[in-house]
């Protein structure tokens, strides 16, 4: 069986499947969960198939409807794209199961129970649309198509964030929507610049032109600001904690684990592939510095929070900083290695942060609040959730053998190799601060409350506890399986060079 690398039309499956499922979810009233689960499962299998294909046949591309660039829509697979797809598929599967548990949790209060029912109606189709957008973004091969997927992600994410219906969450999600639109507009402006100078929108063609044209700097700056707004890098992070913390638990998981990664992924591709010839060291250092500020600021804010979900949200702000610290260290590492730092960080964070938000959501359902100082006794009643929280926390801290440890190891060793020791300080301080905010909560779980334990509420469904634990375990043991992602990544980059000769930075 021989695949032709230019006509792999099934690449479109990860985009089409959730889209169809989303539409079906709108149409049908019952069994929505089954549709969504089937889509999530199918998505996972397709991604596994695509990875298998990549390993055996190298990168692929497909032109939708047979239209070649510069006119048509291009989808393509390579190592980084497929790993992001895999990340989305795994956490997506986890979230789908968790959301099922979340929405079928029995609530005695009839008003709240009714609200739960209504939220569920909107949650599933929106989540499927979001999944479509994410998969489309990771696979897209032209810059305008990327804009469309970004918009899709932004709008469905903001609507998901508004689902909980509480005033705080509506305010936060409205702000989120505005920021997201502002980001998209800036991004669109960047595309306009780019199109004016180069006259094409296909990434591969653009890459070949990027070094020669003037005015690319302005385009890059606009694109970057738009994407940074969406990625919530300090100082543009202000919208993230309220939006993530006030959303429903499954939505928080999706927003924190996946949505911010999408815009970051795009940013990273622009900086290190498309615009690599014109990126300067001061610009990289600037991004790294913002990342360092994000690590410290986010962690300090996380330490100061009184509510568990806000703490977890600020931890996202902090963890995103590590992705940017990789920027200035990229110059001395080789192409595949800078990808592997970012990918390991992103994969670990996606799994660990999902687990953490799931645990926080379960605790909220269980106790009816998430005030950190009143979490005593949860260890006895929700041992699996507490375990999941602990393991996820350990992965976020970057302790071995988590994937974040591998990423931090590479960051540290490139700092030493390039004598930029100040990054070492930032990275290690960030880890220690993470330890403090993770274990501040952990120790509260261990408090044995005085007097009677709370009047045993409804036991939680296993769907609320086990997906969190499994995702946490994946993030913790990712480091032990480090050769696999590395293998997939290396496939991608050599293949890229083959298909797009002379184009790699």
Residue ranges in contact with other proteins by CB under 8 A: 340, 376, 379-380, 383, 390, 394, 397, 399-401, 406, 408-410, 412-413, 416-417, 424, 428, 431-432, 435-436, 439, 443, 446-448, 479-480, 482-483, 486
CB closer to other proteins, 43 vs 415: 415
* Cβ burial, residue 182 (10 Å; 0-12/13-18/19+): middle
Residue 60 Cβ vs other proteins, minimum distance, rounded to whole Å = 26
CB closer to other proteins, 150 vs 347: 347
Q: Cα dist. 194→32, 141, 186, 228, 279 in Å?
A: 42, 15, 12, 18, 15
CB closer to other proteins, 299 vs 410: 410
Dist CA 151 CA 462 (whole Å): 35
Report long-range pairs for 270-273 (Cβ below 8 Å, ≥24 apart).
270/220, 270/223, 270/224, 270/227, 271/220, 271/224, 271/327, 272/330, 272/335, 272/338, 272/339, 272/505, 273/203, 273/207, 273/504, 273/505
CB closer to other proteins, 383 vs 459: 383
Q: Which helix (H) or strand (E) holds 63?
A: strand 60-63
Residue 439 Cβ vs other proteins, minimum distance, rounded to whole Å = 5
CB closer to other proteins, 236 vs 356: 356
List of E strands, 142-300: none
CB closer to other proteins, 248 vs 375: 375
Residue 334 Cβ vs other proteins, minimum distance, rounded to whole Å = 11
Report the candidate in 290, 296, 505, 326 with the shortest Cα–Cα distance to residue 414: 326
Residue 407 Cβ vs other proteins, minimum distance, rounded to whole Å = 10
CB closer to other proteins, 113 vs 432: 432
Residue 326 Cβ vs other proteins, minimum distance, rounded to whole Å = 15
Residue 336 Cβ vs other proteins, minimum distance, rounded to whole Å = 10
CB closer to other proteins, 358 vs 435: 435
CB closer to other proteins, 482 vs 504: 482
Q: Which residues pair with residue 61 across a beta bridge?
A: 76
CB atoms within 10 A of CB 498: 11
Q: 401 Cβ partners below 8 Å, 6+ apart?
A: 476, 477, 478, 479, 480
Torsion of CA 216, 222, 226, 229, to 10 degrees: 120
- C-alpha Rg value of the chain to the nearest Å: 22
CB closer to other proteins, 313 vs 407: 407
Q: Can you read off the two tokens belonging to residue 120?
A: 């569920």
Residue 313 Cβ vs other proteins, minimum distance, rounded to whole Å = 23
Torsion of CA 417, 224, 172, 132, to 10 degrees: -100
Q: How far is CA 111 from the centre of its chain?
A: 33
Q: How far is CA 241 from the centre of its chain?
A: 15
Residue 409 Cβ vs other proteins, minimum distance, rounded to whole Å = 6
Q: How long is the chain?
A: 505
Residue 443 Cβ vs other proteins, minimum distance, rounded to whole Å = 5
Residue 351 Cβ vs other proteins, minimum distance, rounded to whole Å = 18
């Amino acid at each position: 069986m021989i695949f032709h690398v230019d006509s792999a039309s099934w690449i479109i499956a990860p985009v089409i499947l959730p889209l169809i499922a989303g539409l079906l979810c709108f149409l049908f009233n019952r069994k929505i969960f089954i549709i969504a689960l089937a889509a999530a499962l199918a998505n996972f299998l397709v991604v596994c198939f695509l990875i298998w294909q990549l390993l055996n046949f190298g990168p692929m591309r497909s032109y939708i409807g047979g239209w070649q660039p510069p006119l048509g829509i291009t989808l393509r697979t390579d190592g980084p794209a497929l790993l992001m797809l895999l990340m989305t598929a795994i956490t997506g599967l986890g979230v789908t199961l968790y959301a099922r548990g979340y929405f079928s949790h029995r609530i005695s209060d009839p008003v709240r129970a009714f609200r739960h029912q209504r939220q569920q109606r909107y949650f599933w189709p929106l989540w499927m649309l979001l999944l479509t957008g994410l998969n489309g973004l990771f696979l897209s091969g032209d810059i305008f198509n990327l804009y469309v997927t970004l918009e899709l992600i932004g709008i469905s994410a903001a609507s998901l964030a508004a689902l909980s219906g509480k005033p705080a969450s509506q305010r936060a999600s409205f702000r989120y929507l505005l920021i997201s639109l502002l980001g998209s507009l800036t991004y669109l402006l960047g595309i306009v610049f780019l199109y004016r100078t180069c006259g094409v929108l296909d990434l591969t063609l653009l890459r070949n032109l990027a070094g020669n044209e003037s005015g690319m700097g302005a385009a890059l700056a606009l694109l970057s600001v738009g994407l940074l707004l969406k990625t919530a890098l300090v100082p543009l992070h202000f919208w993230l904690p309220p939006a993530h913390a006030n959303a429903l638990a499954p939505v928080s998981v999706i927003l924190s684990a996946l949505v911010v990664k999408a815009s970051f992924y795009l940013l990273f591709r622009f900086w290190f592939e498309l615009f690599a010839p014109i990126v300067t060291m001061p610009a990289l250092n600037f991004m790294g510095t913002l990342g360092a500020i994000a690590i410290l600021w986010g962690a300090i804010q996380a330490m100061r929070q009184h509510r568990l979900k806000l703490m977890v949200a600020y931890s996202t702000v902090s963890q995103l900083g590590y992705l940017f610290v990789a920027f200035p260290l990229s110059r001395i590492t080789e192409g595949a290695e800078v990808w592997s730092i970012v990918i390991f960080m992103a994969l670990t964070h996606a799994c660990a942060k999902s687990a953490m938000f799931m645990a926080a959501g379960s605790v909220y359902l269980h106790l009816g609040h998430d005030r950190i100082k009143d979490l005593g006794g949860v260890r006895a009643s929700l041992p699996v959730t507490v375990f999941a929280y602990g393991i996820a926390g350990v992965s976020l801290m970057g302790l071995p053998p988590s994937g974040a440890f591998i990423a931090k190891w590479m960051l540290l060793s490139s700092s030493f190799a390039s004598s930029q020791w100040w990054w070492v300080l930032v990275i290690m301080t960030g880890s220690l601060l993470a330890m403090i905010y993770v274990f501040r909560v952990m120790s509260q779980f261990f408090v044995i409350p005085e007097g009677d334990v709370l009047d045993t509420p409804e036991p939680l469904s296993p769907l609320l506890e086990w997906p969190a634990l499994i995702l946490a375990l994946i993030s913790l043991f990712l480091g032990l399986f480090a050769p696999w992602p590395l293998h997939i990544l290396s496939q991608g980059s050599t293949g890229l060079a083959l298909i797009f000769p002379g184009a790699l930075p």
